[in-house]
Protein backbone atom coordinates (compact mmCIF):
# COMPACT_ATOMS: atom_id res chain seq x y z
CA UNK A 1 0.00 0.00 0.00
CA UNK A 2 2.86 2.42 0.89
CA UNK A 3 4.51 1.69 -2.46
CA UNK A 4 1.25 2.48 -4.30
CA UNK A 5 0.89 5.78 -2.39
CA UNK A 6 4.48 6.76 -3.22
CA UNK A 7 3.85 5.95 -6.89
CA UNK A 8 0.70 8.15 -6.96
CA UNK A 9 2.53 11.00 -5.18
CA UNK A 10 5.34 10.82 -7.73
CA UNK A 11 2.87 11.02 -10.62
CA UNK A 12 1.17 14.05 -9.06
CA UNK A 13 4.55 15.77 -8.56
CA UNK A 14 5.49 15.16 -12.19
CA UNK A 15 2.16 16.57 -13.38
CA UNK A 16 2.68 19.74 -11.34
CA UNK A 17 6.21 20.19 -12.71
CA UNK A 18 5.06 19.90 -16.31
CA UNK A 19 2.16 22.32 -15.76
CA UNK A 20 4.22 25.12 -14.13
CA UNK A 21 4.27 28.05 -16.61
CA UNK A 22 7.70 29.12 -17.86
CA UNK A 23 9.47 25.85 -17.03
CA UNK A 24 10.45 22.90 -19.14
CA UNK A 25 10.41 19.28 -18.00
CA UNK A 26 13.80 19.76 -16.35
CA UNK A 27 12.45 22.62 -14.26
CA UNK A 28 14.66 25.17 -16.07
CA UNK A 29 13.42 28.52 -17.32
CA UNK A 30 12.03 28.54 -20.85
CA UNK A 31 12.23 31.45 -23.27
CA UNK A 32 8.78 33.00 -23.07
CA UNK A 33 9.46 35.32 -25.99
CA UNK A 34 9.23 38.39 -23.78
CA UNK A 35 11.99 41.00 -24.00
CA UNK A 36 14.07 40.85 -20.79
CA UNK A 37 14.75 44.05 -18.85
CA UNK A 38 18.01 45.80 -19.74
CA UNK A 39 21.12 44.45 -18.01
CA UNK A 40 21.84 46.51 -14.92
CA UNK A 41 18.19 47.53 -14.39
CA UNK A 42 17.75 45.35 -11.32
CA UNK A 43 15.87 47.75 -9.08
CA UNK A 44 12.28 49.00 -9.19
CA UNK A 45 11.06 50.59 -12.42
CA UNK A 46 12.59 54.01 -12.91
CA UNK A 47 15.75 53.24 -10.93
CA UNK A 48 19.22 52.29 -12.14
CA UNK A 49 22.48 51.29 -10.52
CA UNK A 50 24.90 53.99 -11.70
CA UNK A 51 28.65 53.47 -11.72
CA UNK A 52 30.44 56.17 -9.75
CA UNK A 53 33.86 54.60 -10.32
CA UNK A 54 34.97 52.34 -13.20
CA UNK A 55 34.35 48.69 -12.23
CA UNK A 56 37.40 46.50 -11.73
CA UNK A 57 38.38 44.50 -14.78
CA UNK A 58 37.39 47.03 -17.45
CA UNK A 59 40.99 47.40 -18.55
CA UNK A 60 40.70 46.37 -22.19
CA UNK A 61 39.20 49.66 -23.40
CA UNK A 62 39.17 53.15 -22.00
CA UNK A 63 36.88 55.94 -23.19
CA UNK A 64 35.68 59.48 -22.58
CA UNK A 65 32.10 59.41 -21.33
CA UNK A 66 29.96 61.96 -23.22
CA UNK A 67 28.52 64.81 -21.19
CA UNK A 68 25.27 63.83 -19.48
CA UNK A 69 25.80 60.10 -20.05
CA UNK A 70 25.97 57.65 -17.18
CA UNK A 71 27.50 54.20 -16.99
CA UNK A 72 25.22 51.48 -15.62
CA UNK A 73 26.56 48.94 -13.13
CA UNK A 74 26.68 45.47 -14.65
CA UNK A 75 28.70 42.30 -14.25
CA UNK A 76 30.87 42.39 -17.39
CA UNK A 77 30.45 39.40 -19.67
CA UNK A 78 29.40 39.47 -23.32
CA UNK A 79 28.15 42.98 -22.53
CA UNK A 80 31.39 44.68 -21.48
CA UNK A 81 29.87 48.02 -20.51
CA UNK A 82 26.46 49.70 -20.65
CA UNK A 83 25.42 53.34 -20.66
CA UNK A 84 22.31 55.49 -20.62
CA UNK A 85 22.37 58.71 -22.60
CA UNK A 86 20.57 60.91 -20.06
CA UNK A 87 20.00 60.88 -16.30
CA UNK A 88 16.42 59.73 -16.98
CA UNK A 89 15.97 55.95 -16.76
CA UNK A 90 13.77 56.19 -19.86
CA UNK A 91 16.62 57.06 -22.24
CA UNK A 92 18.44 55.46 -25.13
CA UNK A 93 20.70 52.58 -24.05
CA UNK A 94 24.22 51.99 -25.36
CA UNK A 95 26.18 48.77 -24.96
CA UNK A 96 29.80 47.87 -25.63
CA UNK A 97 29.75 44.17 -26.47
CA UNK A 98 32.57 41.68 -27.01
CA UNK A 99 32.22 38.45 -28.99
CA UNK A 100 34.63 35.97 -30.53
CA UNK A 101 35.58 37.17 -34.01
CA UNK A 102 33.42 34.50 -35.68
CA UNK A 103 30.38 35.89 -33.83
CA UNK A 104 30.91 39.34 -35.31
CA UNK A 105 29.60 38.70 -38.82
CA UNK A 106 28.02 41.99 -39.88
CA UNK A 107 25.35 40.58 -42.18
CA UNK A 108 24.09 38.17 -39.53
CA UNK A 109 24.04 40.88 -36.88
CA UNK A 110 22.32 43.44 -39.11
CA UNK A 111 19.54 40.97 -39.87
CA UNK A 112 19.25 40.23 -36.14
CA UNK A 113 18.91 43.97 -35.43
CA UNK A 114 16.28 44.25 -38.16
CA UNK A 115 14.41 41.42 -36.46
CA UNK A 116 14.68 43.19 -33.08
CA UNK A 117 13.16 46.29 -34.67
CA UNK A 118 10.42 44.14 -36.28
CA UNK A 119 11.51 45.17 -39.78
CA UNK A 120 9.90 42.44 -41.91
CA UNK A 121 12.57 42.19 -44.62
CA UNK A 122 16.05 40.71 -44.41
CA UNK A 123 19.06 41.76 -46.47
CA UNK A 124 21.38 39.41 -48.36
CA UNK A 125 24.34 41.80 -48.86
CA UNK A 126 25.83 44.62 -46.80
CA UNK A 127 25.35 47.01 -49.72
CA UNK A 128 21.60 46.90 -49.06
CA UNK A 129 22.05 48.53 -45.65
CA UNK A 130 23.16 52.20 -45.79
CA UNK A 131 26.04 53.18 -43.51
CA UNK A 132 28.51 55.97 -42.84
CA UNK A 133 32.18 55.62 -41.96
CA UNK A 134 33.45 56.63 -38.52
CA UNK A 135 36.49 55.97 -36.33
CA UNK A 136 36.14 53.37 -33.57
CA UNK A 137 39.16 52.88 -31.27
CA UNK A 138 41.52 54.09 -33.99
CA UNK A 139 40.03 51.90 -36.73
CA UNK A 140 37.81 52.80 -39.64
CA UNK A 141 34.36 51.32 -39.02
CA UNK A 142 30.91 51.31 -40.61
CA UNK A 143 28.10 52.89 -38.61
CA UNK A 144 24.74 51.28 -39.44
CA UNK A 145 21.51 53.17 -38.82
CA UNK A 146 18.28 51.12 -38.75
CA UNK A 147 14.80 52.27 -37.81
CA UNK A 148 11.20 51.14 -37.98
CA UNK A 149 8.94 54.10 -38.71
CA UNK A 150 5.86 52.14 -37.64
CA UNK A 151 7.13 51.27 -34.16
CA UNK A 152 9.26 54.40 -33.75
CA UNK A 153 12.29 52.35 -32.65
CA UNK A 154 15.85 52.78 -33.92
CA UNK A 155 19.26 51.07 -33.62
CA UNK A 156 22.65 52.64 -34.31
CA UNK A 157 25.55 50.17 -34.31
CA UNK A 158 29.20 49.84 -35.30
CA UNK A 159 31.84 47.09 -35.07
CA UNK A 160 35.58 46.54 -35.16
CA UNK A 161 37.74 43.42 -34.97
CA UNK A 162 40.67 43.58 -32.55
CA UNK A 163 42.90 40.80 -31.21
CA UNK A 164 40.53 38.05 -32.31
CA UNK A 165 37.45 39.71 -30.80
CA UNK A 166 34.51 41.53 -32.38
CA UNK A 167 33.64 44.71 -30.50
CA UNK A 168 30.26 46.37 -31.02
CA UNK A 169 28.86 49.69 -29.86
CA UNK A 170 25.08 49.63 -30.17
CA UNK A 171 22.52 52.25 -29.26
CA UNK A 172 18.83 51.36 -28.91
CA UNK A 173 15.94 53.72 -28.33
CA UNK A 174 13.22 55.73 -29.99
CA UNK A 175 14.00 57.50 -33.26
CA UNK A 176 14.18 60.84 -31.44
CA UNK A 177 16.33 59.52 -28.57
CA UNK A 178 18.88 57.98 -30.92
CA UNK A 179 18.98 61.09 -33.13
CA UNK A 180 19.63 63.27 -30.08
CA UNK A 181 22.53 61.07 -28.89
CA UNK A 182 24.02 60.05 -32.27
CA UNK A 183 26.88 62.58 -32.29
CA UNK A 184 27.76 61.68 -28.70
CA UNK A 185 27.92 57.97 -29.58
CA UNK A 186 30.25 58.72 -32.49
CA UNK A 187 32.42 60.78 -30.10
CA UNK A 188 32.43 57.81 -27.67
CA UNK A 189 33.65 55.49 -30.44
CA UNK A 190 36.38 57.94 -31.48
CA UNK A 191 37.57 58.32 -27.86
CA UNK A 192 37.92 54.59 -27.26
CA UNK A 193 41.45 53.32 -26.84
CA UNK A 194 42.54 49.73 -26.36
CA UNK A 195 44.86 49.38 -23.40
CA UNK A 196 47.90 47.12 -23.36
CA UNK A 197 47.40 43.66 -21.79
CA UNK A 198 48.19 43.54 -18.09
CA UNK A 199 51.67 42.27 -17.29
CA UNK A 200 51.89 38.87 -15.65
CA UNK A 201 53.44 38.66 -12.15
CA UNK A 202 57.13 37.82 -12.13
CA UNK A 203 56.46 34.46 -10.48
CA UNK A 204 53.72 33.49 -12.99
CA UNK A 205 54.48 30.03 -14.48
Phi, psi of 114 (to 5 degrees): -60, -40
50 assigned to some structural domain? no
54 assigned to some structural domain? no
Average the pLDDT over 55-63 and give the result. 61
At 197 the pLDDT is 52
100 assigned to some structural domain? yes
128 assigned to some structural domain? yes
Average the pLDDT over 110-117 and give the result. 97
149 assigned to some structural domain? yes
Going by C-alpha positions, the residue among 108, 60, 51, 106 that lies closest to residue 82 is: 51
Q: Buried (b) or exposed (e) across 98-127, using 16+ Cβ within 10 A? A: beeeeebebeebbbebbeebebeeeeeeee
> How many domains is the chain built from?
1
Is residue 71's pLDDT more than 90? Answer: yes
| CA dist., res. 204 & res. 200, Å (int) | 6
Reported confidence tier of residue 88, pLDDT bands at 50, 70, 90: confident
25 assigned to some structural domain? no
Highest mean pLDDT of the ranges 45-54, 65-74, 178-187: 178-187
Tens of pLDDT, residues 130-163 = 999 999 999 999 999 999 999 999 999 999 999 8
State the CATH number of the domain containing residue 108. 3.40.1000.10
Average the pLDDT over 183-188 and give the result. 98
Q: Domain residues for 180?
A: 61-194
Reported confidence tier of residue 108, pLDDT bands at 50, 70, 90: very high
Amino acid sequence: MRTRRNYIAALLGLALLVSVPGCDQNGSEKDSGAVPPPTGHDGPKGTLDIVTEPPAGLGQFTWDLPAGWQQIQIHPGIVFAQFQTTSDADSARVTLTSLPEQGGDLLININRWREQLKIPTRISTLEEQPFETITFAGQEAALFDLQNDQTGQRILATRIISNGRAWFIKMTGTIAQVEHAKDAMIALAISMQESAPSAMPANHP
